[in-house]
Amino acid sequence: METPVLEFSDVNYIYHTISCETDALKDISFKLDRNEFISFVGPSGCGKTTLLNLIAGLIPVSSGTIKLTGKELSGSSLNIGYMLQKDHLLEWRSIYKNLTLGLEIQGKKDAEHLAIIDDLLKTYGLDEFRNAFPRQLSGGMRQRAALIRTLALSPDILLLDEPFSALDYQTRLNVSDDIGSIIKEKEISTILVTHDLSEAISMADRVIVLSKRPGTIKEEIPIRLSIEKRTPKTSRNAPEFNTYYNQIWEAIHDENQDIT
């Protein structure tokens, strides 16, 4: 069996502050296979962003291990792309200079990588805006630009932290379709974190439900939709969609009742 791209074993994470310590994640174990798409859903503050920060290597685990293709996180040569909730385009740089930011930082501004950006710019109809500034773009366009900035580094793993939450419903569907197709085409293993259950189901091969803080894995639900050409949009029309929705909703709702 192939080694998973990403493997968590008994990962805990604790935030320390002067006044208290907060258990953010507890006993998290899961595997992300190559080309797999996992959505994490869970109540606010359950540690979803923390989970992604751990994978991105921004913070070290308190205990447990994270492995990328069988290797320690720090020794791995895999590229990790991380899309934050907001686009965070730098207002003082043109769109093109925003897109090359990652390449500039990593000293990879070569023809091969710039070609990737040119390609993506054309695919997303942003080509004519390459010299524009972020403030001249709509929310959807900005989010696509942020996506291109992330994809320019050809990530092996993509981390998405509620990347669509700032968009209106219509744009949200379109952008998630765009991202869905790119991820399929480029064979990127992906983790999406979201509040939106429909979004989680429509994009994922598997949905993992986290409990309220400290976040533990509550339920893992593989998504199998009987539908011809699956995209995030068409998934929503699958006959099984509502069943999954209810199942996940109950898993979270059940959780919320524990609070009271």
Partner 1 sequence: MKTKISPEQQKYVHNIRKKQILIRLYQLLLFVGFIILWEYTAKHGIINSFIFSCPSKLFATFLSMLKDGSLIHHIFITLYETLAGFAIVIIGSLLIATLFWWNETLSKVLEPYLVILNSLPKSALAPVLIVWLGSNKTTIIVCACSVAIFGSILNIYTGFVNVENDKLKLIKTLKGTRFQCLKLVVLPSNVPNIISVMKVNIGLCLVGVVIGEFLAAREGLGYLIIYGSQTFKMGNVLLSILILCVIAMFLYMILQKIEKKLSGYF
Ligand X SMILES: Nc1ncnc2c1ncn2[C@@H]1O[C@H](COP(=O)(O)OP(=O)(O)OP(=O)(O)O)[C@@H](O)[C@H]1O
Three-state secondary structure along the chain? Answer: CCCCCEEEEEEEEEEECCCCEEEEEEEEEEEECCCCEEEEECCCCCCHHHHHHHHCCCCCCCEEEEEECCEECCCCCCCEEEECCCCCCCCCCCHHHHHCHHHHHCCCCCHHHHHHHHHHHHHCCCHHHCCCCHHHCCHHHHHHHHHHHHHCCCCCEEEEECCCCCCCHHHHHHHHHHHHHHHHHHCCEEEEEECCHHHHHHHCCEEEEECCCCECEEEEEECCCCCCCCCHHHHCCCCCHHHHHHHHHHHHHHHHHHHC
**Site for ligand X, residues 189 to 228, rule: CB under 6 A:** 213
Return the residue of 9, 22, 35, 49 that touches Mg ion, per CB under 5 A: 49
Residue 153 interacts with partner 1 (CB under 8 A): yes or no: yes
Q: Is 17 in the site for ligand X (CB under 6 A)?
A: yes
User: What gap in Å lies between CA 226 and CA 237, rounded to an integer?
Assistant: 10
Does residue 142 bind ligand X (CB under 6 A)?
no
CB of 48 to Mg ion, least distance (A): 5
Question: Which of these, 14, 58, 63, 32, lies nearest to 192 by C-alpha position?
Answer: 32
∠ CA 49-53-54, nearest 5°, is 120
Please report whether residue 49 would count as binding ligand X according to CB under 6 A.
Answer: yes
Residue 46 binds: one of partner 1, ligand X, Mg ion, none (C-beta under 5 to 8 A by kind) = ligand X
Q: Is residue 44 close enough to count as binding ligand X by CB under 6 A?
A: yes
Please pick, from the candidates 82, 96, 124, 164, the single residue that binds partner 1 as defined by CB under 8 A.
82
Work out whether 163 is an interface residue with ligand X (CB under 6 A). Answer: no
Could you say which of 26, 30, 41, 48 contacts ligand X (CB under 6 A)? 48
Total of residues contacting partner 1 (CB under 8 A): 18
- Binding of residue 45 to ligand X (CB under 6 A): yes
Q: Which does 45 bind (CB under 5 to 8 A by kind): partner 1, Mg ion, ligand X, none?
A: ligand X
Q: Is 88 in the site for partner 1 (CB under 8 A)?
A: yes
The answer to the question of residue 62 lying near ligand X (CB under 6 A) is no
Using rule CB under 5 A, residue 22 touches Mg ion: no
Task: Name the site residues for ligand X (rule: CB under 6 A).
Answer: 15, 17, 22, 24, 44-50, 213
Contact residues for partner 1, defined by CB under 8 A = 56, 58, 80, 82, 84-86, 88, 90-92, 101-102, 104-106, 133, 153
User: Which residues of this chain interact with Mg ion, rule CB under 5 A?
Assistant: 49
